[in-house]
A and B are shown apart, each in its own frame.
Chain A
Amino acid sequence: MSSPIIVFDHVRKSYPLYQHMKGGTKHLLFHLPNVWRSIKNSTYEVLKDVSFEVKTGEALGIIGRNGAGKSTILGLIAGVLKPSSGKIVVTGRISPLLELGAGFHPELTGRENIILNGIILGLTKTEIIKKLDEIIEFSELGEFIEQPIRVYSSGMLARLGFSVVAHLNPDILLIDEILAVGDLEFQKKCIDKMIGFKKNRVAIIFVSHSISDIVRICDRVLWIENHTIKILGEPPDVVKSYTS
């Protein structure tokens, strides 16, 4: 198999607890020494000692309870967060599948949002214009594409979002729990597209609570518990111990 496209090497991520800011400027000024101390000391560990690798064309599922640190891993891969210690190497174009409607503007039409979103996600205008028709066709939104997306249902938003991301030609696809809202037919279409991506050597990181989707798509599964890796292995084995 080819070289790894994502490498996590003993990654630790802790957040400072920004509670001291709750009191605002007044609090800050009057209790400066205390506040300073609390800034230095109060941190919250989200991930500790996480190491794994993902190769091109591999699909890695991430499971775990709410707040276990799954989204933090995605944030670290996407490069919007920096690790507190350890090393992360990510090579290639990343395309994150946003939460519903993020990066979209409700007043713009579906078509305008495709262009906006495409450019935000890293394409140039010429690239996205070239793919526009294909994206619209894939979304199956029909004449709704000319409507402002505030009239869309959440399922339609998911269609639009996935359609843009599916046409970005990424090297790495990050998917955070979004397929749940689309109808069955579209969910199937998304899964087919993801399997198509895998064939084209795209690495997929798939966070989901849907065990069946994880088993269907992923080559390996990472189970995060207590802020660290509990098991990393073949989907059937991990899922078995996760659900038991």
Chain B
Amino acid sequence: MNFKIRHYIDLITVLTHKEMKVRYKSTFLGYVWSIAHPLAFAFVFFMAFKVVMRIQMEGYAVFLIAGLFPWQWFSNSINASPTIFLHNSSLIKKVNLPRNALPLATVLQDSIHFLLAIPVIVLFLFIYHKSPSFSWLYGIPLLLCIQLLMTYGLCLMIASINLFVRDLERLAGIGINLLFYFTPIIYPETMIPARYKTLVLFVNPLSSLMVSWRNLFLDGSLPVLLVFVSFIYSLFILIVGYAIYTKLSWKFAEVL
């Protein structure tokens, strides 16, 4: 294998490994914390919408779980993205390493945490007398790839621009919050009023992906149209993100 490619793979591996290790170092519960957050969220929404507002839906808890875990991955990565290059300023200023490896390691690390959380989803499926389907075998890798491309593209974009315009840090936090409620995660896409349906489902690049994840987890189906739309979005976001990164990256060492 080419030396450069092998070194890049080693670099990604060691950086991802580092982030995994560092994340829960000196904590007692470690891995539990990565599932505690979405579970707590699910509990809050369950209380608000099922118990108090009495949404008419079977299995609302498992419905929430199936959507919140993939979302958690996305939002963790995006929330971390503004400071990825900032916090590695000494590396960027001194070493000529492929800097795009840094956000990739962050996204990969969050994706691994997501994969580790899938057993929790399975547990909830069993509680609601459902079971995993065979379509997971190809569905999960497929959606995983799509989300990886999309999240990585966005992370690259935010991490790069934030070096020059630090406001993005705040903006990303607000944006993620807004996006969450405009994505059918705590409500099914069927409940969106007809007028806004196209808007929420197809203009928001996250919707098609999150609905696909949920369908896959709950009944093993992969809606072809939605998967296709999310794939196109992910490619588009990656290309734009990478273009911005390429254009700005040679100035990184100057602004840090």
Nearest Cβ in chain B — how far from A40, in angstroms? 15
- A28 contacts partner chain B, Cβ-Cβ < 8 Å: yes
- B255 contacts partner chain A, Cβ-Cβ < 8 Å: yes
B164 touching A18 by the CB < 8 A rule? yes
From B4-12, B60-68, B141-149, the one touching the partner chain is B4-12
From B92-100, B109-117, B215-223, B239-247, the one touching the partner chain is B92-100
From B14-22, B50-58, B118-126, B224-232, the one touching the partner chain is B14-22
Smallest CB-CB separation from B92: which chain A residue? A80
Given the interface contacts A124-B3, A125-B13, does A75 sit within 8 Å of B164 by beta carbon? no
Smallest CB-CB separation from B101: which chain A residue? A120
Given the interface contacts A96-B95, A120-B11, does A107 sit within 8 Å of B253 by beta carbon? no
A-B contact pairs, 11 of them (CB 8 A): A18-B164, A24-B166, A75-B94, A78-B96, A102-B91, A108-B21, A116-B14, A116-B15, A120-B95, A122-B7, A176-B94
How many Å lie between the Cα of A123 and that of B10 in the bound state?
A: 9
By a beta-carbon cutoff of 8 Å, the part of chain B in contact with chain A is 3, 6-7, 10-11, 13-15, 18, 21-22, 25-26, 90-97, 164-167, 171, 250, 252-255
How many Å lie between the Cα of A32 and that of B22 in the bound state?
A: 42
Given contacts A21-B166, A148-B25, 7 further A-B contacts (CB under 8 A): A18-B255, A75-B94, A75-B253, A78-B94, A119-B14, A120-B11, A123-B7
Which secondary structure dominates where chain B touches chain A? helix
Smallest CB-CB separation from B89: which chain A residue? A102
- A242 contacts partner chain B, Cβ-Cβ < 8 Å: no
- Report A56-85 residues with CB < 8 Å from chain B CB: 75, 78-82
Which secondary structure dominates where chain A touches chain B? mixed
- Report A206-220 residues with CB < 8 Å from chain B CB: none
B10 touching A119 by the CB < 8 A rule? yes
B94 touching A96 by the CB < 8 A rule? yes
A124 touching B90 by the CB < 8 A rule? no
Indicate which residue in B94, B96, B254 contacts A16 across the interface (CB closer than 8 Å).
B254
How many Å lie between the Cα of A81 and that of B96 in the bound state?
A: 9
- A140 contacts partner chain B, Cβ-Cβ < 8 Å: no
Q: A78 — which chain B residues lie within 8 A by C-beta?
A: 94-96
A21 touching B164 by the CB < 8 A rule? yes
Q: Which of A81, A98, A108, A120 has the most CB of B within 10 A?
A: A120
B90 touching A15 by the CB < 8 A rule? no
- A227 contacts partner chain B, Cβ-Cβ < 8 Å: no
B91 touching A125 by the CB < 8 A rule? no
